[in-house]
Structure 1
Amino acid sequence: MTGLNLGEVAQATMALALAGVLGLLLGRLSIRGVGLGIGGVLFAGIALGDVSARLGLHFNAEMMEFVREFGLILFVFTIGIQVGPGFFGSLRRSGLQLNLAAASVVVLGVLVTLAVHFAFDVPVQALVGIMSGAVTNTPGLGAATQALADVGAGADAVAMPSLGYAVAYPFGIVGILLSMLLLRFITRVDIPAEAEAYDAQRRRGSGSLPSLDVVVENRNLDGLRLAEVPGLFDAGVVPSRMRKDGALLVPQRDSVLACGDVLHLVGPTEKLQAMRLVLGSEAAAPLTTKGTDLAWARVVVTDRHASGHRLRSLRLEESYGVSVSRINRAGTELPAQGDSTLEFGDIVTVVGPRDSIDRVRGILGDESRRLDEVDFPGVFLGIVLGVLLGSIPIAVPGLPAPLKLGLAGGPLVVAILLGRLGSWGPFTWVMPPVANHALREFGIILFLAVVGLKAGDRFLDTLITGDGLAWVGYGVMITLVPLLLVGFVARLVFGFNYLALCGVLAGSMTDPPALAFANAQSPSAAASVSYAAVYPLVMGLRIFAPQLLVLMLFAM
């Protein structure tokens, strides 16, 4: 029997697959719920890289570089698509304070990294890897690697960030948990009280739109059309039902008011109370569609012709006699106004006769299965645009090379914008969560496997006989100093809710195991909500920070 002869492609494929299998199994091992997670692929790749080097096996460098960069592109693009719809909304209202705290952790981490560089003369190549490992942010490692390649660093220099990442990563996971525990015990937190306080605040500022039934008692409004009442429709309060002379109707702009009419209003709490003062008093019984000819339904916008159009231009009220009372977009309810622009995936609440609602379904689409499909032409177009944007050089005085978003930043920025847009023409960028997760995990597995395989032959030497132990110490500082400083200031000075603050700290490290630990302290949703609010901004900052450090420090 002839000997087995594997070509370069077969060898690389087997090595990547083995790194994925062993790494994912390693990542599932946990101690008290804390494990390596997807980072296990990096350590499995390092082990396989070490064994391969000892056996004299070498992989095609160009092939490995392509797989690494393609995996990174796929990973950051799917992240952008995921966070895009909520990215800009997270920067408003209460999310602003949470994002400022999380961004402060990132900025302080960069400052501590710079201090380590100047105090201990740590090479830039290792420094950016240590920083990425200390904050458990794998996309940052990819961005650092790409930035080093862009400034013309050699192969050894490009491989060094992965060594720094690997030695700093384990404490990065432990450090965030330790920070939460120190914050909890030193400030004497009462977990049930914190959960109760958060839930009470959440009820006052709920992301869902409340409703109110009001009896018209203001005689100055008798005989006016609804469109003439200040504060209704395009001012943020929508009348979705109206009882007039004992009959339940769909209120329209031309409907005439009379004293004794009852309006079911939908809108923000403060505007509802203002309208109650204008119209009359709150009704004793809720205005319901049960037992009437009217009904209400939630309709999903999936028709490409409806997406991108203003509600007024669809003329649903005039043509079908229905009222749109609210729009649910990415989990947030918005008042339906004439100038509101519908987006693919919006869920609109429609009130009216049943047959009219059915016709409106045909206009808006209401094909939920469309939300479960991946539009691959849109994905590949987005990747093309992302690579092009990442390749545009931006000259900055004092830097040795033009600033570029690179293969990590370009696809991320484009994906955030496309995720926010939702669809355009024949392209759709709404991606089912399951598909998004699968593509994201596949991309990061490819990236980590290659990084580990290329760094494996030097990892043990660096850790045992080189500077590895010192690098661990530097990583501890980069992990703990920003978390503890921001945590105590946010809690003691600005009065952050402890559970929400834990979500901010976990989000500032983009660390799911830390979020799981935070959630285990209380059934309250505080940590998860805060984590989701800061994740989009922090992920962008974590990807751009290593690139900026590389360009700044190479200029010195």
Structure 2
Amino acid sequence: MEIITWFRESVMGNTLMVVFLVAFIGYLVGSIKIRGVELGTAGVLLVALVFGHFGFEVPDLVRELGLICFVTSVGFIAGPKFFRNFKLNAKSYILLGLIIIVAGALTTAAIIEIAGVPSDISVGMMSGALTSTPGLAAAIDATGSANASVGYGIAYPFGVVGVVLFVQLVPKFLKTDMAAERARFEAAQNVGDDALKKKEKLFIVDEMGLCSFALAIVLGIILAKIVIPLPGGAEFSLGTSGGPLIAGLILGHFGYVGNISLHVEKSVLECLREFGLAMFLIGAGVEAGAGFIEILKEQGLILFVYGALITLIPMFIGYFVAVKMMKLSLFNTLGSICGGMTSTPALGTLIRVTGTDDVASAYAATYPVALVFVVLSCQFIGIFL
């Protein structure tokens, strides 16, 4: 403990030291494979939780910057093929997003009624199990209790790790030929010439496309500030997760405005996507790790189990509905589940596992639907149960 105290005092005031030390150790942990399964970037989350438990702090800006970089990159990557894919599977995406969130809400309601867990903690667990920060905000607002954040902190770690493991284990369990599945999926996603090919002469502000990326973030933050009134006096907004995602989708889809190119190099997007994901997990993990063990001791380890159920049950129901009833392909199914669970980290893992960025289009199609319904569900449960 003396070593930990000395170490904490030595680096506590150096934010950059903490951030990149967590990233370094986290990637090492994430690279460990057990029977071919690894945590990947989610290893950063686990290390961040440990650092948070021992009193390390990271400014909120790290989490917000990471989230914005990640979702904007996803939007640009998915944009060129998103609208065609959404048009083909729109009903499935909307219904799947609804089913996953309703399953999570019903599981939460059952925990409140049967297990007797207080509604403020339970609705917080739901937002954590579905990794939804907007849901947490809605839960705190509806319950008027800070205990919602306690529930969020308990359920969030498994909410991240559970979906990350799910998208890796399902293809292994099914013994999927990933190369063949990827070929079929990408063939179905093929939309021919992209938007840039329709314009032969475009003015390029900078070769890497960082100007366009910055524009998408600015537009996304503006979208995030728009508040939509909901029944019962509640409010909804896309937030910093939804706004930049939508802006990235739109700019990525059109590719240009007039004679000005909006193209961003794919290598830049991939780098920003991974960097953003790591920064988001570091910020979220350190924050959730503060007092995590104490909360479990006070409330009981069973709360962790309840949180895990709120994560697992909607995933399995969503998978069954997507495959057996909607007949979606495996890649579309897993991408939709990542979106339905509003799981940003799992999408990064899924892209690596499948070997194609195109799965981001299924995520991007389901995510906004799930985001709306998770906010509504948290408010409904918090008010009426």
When the two structures are superposed, what TM-score results if normalisation uses the length of structure 2? 0.75
SS of structure 1 residue aligned to 2:192? strand
User: Do 1:82 and 1:419's aligned partners in 2 also have CA atoms closer than 8 Å?
Assistant: yes
- Name whichever of 66-75 and 466-475 sits farther off: 466-475
What is aligned with 2:3?
none
Shift of 1:425: 4.5
User: Which one has a bigger Cα radius of gyration?
Assistant: 1
Cα distance in 2, alignment partners of residues 441 and 31 from structure 1: 23
Is 2:333 aligned against 1:504? yes
Structure 2 residue 90 is the aligned partner of structure 1 residue 99: no
Q: 1:30 to 1:195 in 2, by over 3 A?
A: closer
Indicate the residue corresponding to 1:456 in structure 2: 289
Deviations for 1:101-123, whole angstroms, at most 9, x for unmatched residues?
Answer: 74365344434444345434556
Q: In 1, are the aligned partners of 2:201 and 2:259 still within 8 Å (CA)?
A: no
Number of the residue aligned with 1:218: none
* 3-state secondary structure, aligned to 1:537: helix
Alpha-carbon separation, structure 2, partners of 1:73 and 1:50: 25
Matched, 1:469 2:297: no
CA distance in 2, matches of 1:374, 1:387: 22
Query: Which of 353, 363, 370 is 1:535 aligned to?
Result: 363
Percent identity between matched residues is: 27
Aligned ranges for residues 124-523 of structure 1 at < 5 Å?
127=122, 130-131=125-126, 134=129, 140-145=131-136, 147=138, 157-158=148-149, 161-175=152-166, 331-333=190-192, 343=195, 345-346=196-197, 364-365=200-201, 373-399=207-233, 401-425=234-258, 428-463=261-296, 465-467=297-299, 469-488=301-320, 496=327, 500-501=329-330, 503-505=332-334, 507-509=336-338, 511=346, 515=350
CA distance in 2, matches of 1:490, 1:8: 48
**Structure 2 CA distance for partners of 1:364 and 1:411, relative to 1, 3 Å:** same
| Contact residue 336 and residue 362 of structure 2 kept, 8 A | yes
Give, as a single letter, the amino acid of the residue that structure 2 aligns with 1:84: G
Question: As a proportion of its length, which structure holds more helix?
Answer: 2
Deviation (angstroms), 1:168: 4.2
Structure 2: unaligned runs, 5 residues or longer: 1-6, 340-345
Structure 1 equivalent of residue 37 of structure 2 = 34
Does the alignment pair 1:72 with 2:67? yes
- Quickly say closer, same or farther: Cα 1:366–1:44, change in 2 above 3 A: same
Equivalent AA in structure 1 for residue 191 of structure 2: T
Q: How does 1:537-552 map to 2 (within 5 A)?
A: 537-552=365-380
Residue 88 of structure 1: aligned partner: 83
1:379 Cα deviation (Å)?
A: 2.3
* Greater relative CO (CA pairs within 8 A, separation 6+): 2
Alpha-carbon separation, structure 2, partners of 1:476 and 1:158: 16
**Secondary structure at the counterpart of residue 333 of structure 1:** coil
Q: Distance in 2 between matches of 1:43 and 1:501?
A: 28
AA of the residue aligned to 1:69: E
Aligned to 2:4: none
What is the CA distance between 1:163 and its match in structure 2? Answer: 3.2
Shift in alpha-carbon separation, 1:132–1:26, aligned structure 2, 3 A? farther
